A = this chain, B = another copy of it.
Amino acid sequence: MATTGHTVKAFDTDLGQIRGLVSEMGGRAEAAITDSIGALAQLDLETAARIVEDDRRLDELEAEVERHVIRLIALRQPMADDLREVVAALKISGVVERIGDYAKNIAKRVPLLADMHSSEPLAILPAMARAVSDLVRAALDAYAARDPAAAIEVCRADRQVDDFYNTLFRSLLTYMMENPTAITPSAHLLFIAKNLERIGDHATNVAEMVYFAATGEQLTERPRGQDPLAVMGA
């Protein structure tokens, strides 16, 4: 494609700005995950409320990415690889916004758990949250570095999150059977574990989009862990 140096430079500047916004979104989503589980462990209602409030900024950033993408396409009319990368930025910002929604949902449950006594399954959550936020960071790092090999690694690492989820699901159900009076808080913990598991899936989605943007090929046969549902009935 014949373009002047001037046009190429303008495109790179615009794209760099969009990529910067997506990275900012990633950093915020990652912090929201860690902070929401921290707020849960400490039953810190103030932090929980702040996370819910801060999520608006993620929504605004996603809208900002969309505006930039539309403007960039209209002004620079990118082709082939460039266009694929612009579309990937748009899609990844959408996924990161949803990751933020899951973290916000965890934070919203903190006040509902305020009179909860510590339960054994609760002890596993911080480790699972750490694995999940590491996964989100790795997916966004792969995006920043345009690194398809790192993207494959993220899909592999999602197994660990699925393992955490299966362990938590089983132990929460056992805990509910043994402590019927703790069924309501345990149900919230079940949803919190599910939210973390879904965030792991979304990090995998980001990695798949990074792979596609970098290579032009779908990472269809994703190396998955054991399907969480496959062991649920056990």
Contact = CB atoms under 8 A, between A and B. Distances in A.
Interface of A: 63, 66, 69-70, 73-74, 77, 79-80, 83-84, 87, 90-91, 94, 105, 108-109, 111-112, 169, 173, 176-177, 180-181, 183-184, 187-188, 190-191, 194, 218, 227, 229, 232-233
Contacts of A188: 232
A218 B112 CA distance: 32
Q: Which 6 A-B pairs give the minimum distances between C-beta atoms?
A: A112-B233, A108-B229, A177-B180, A176-B183, A77-B77, A177-B183
A233 B111 CA distance: 9
Contact of A180 (B84, B176, B190, B233): B176
B180 A109 contact: no
Nearest to A84: B70
Nearest to A172: B187
Contacts of A111: 233
B70 A83 contact: yes
Contacts of A227: 108
A51 to B, nearest CB: 13
A232 B189 CA distance: 13
A90 to B, nearest CB: 7
Contacts of A233: 111-112, 184
A127 B73 CA distance: 44
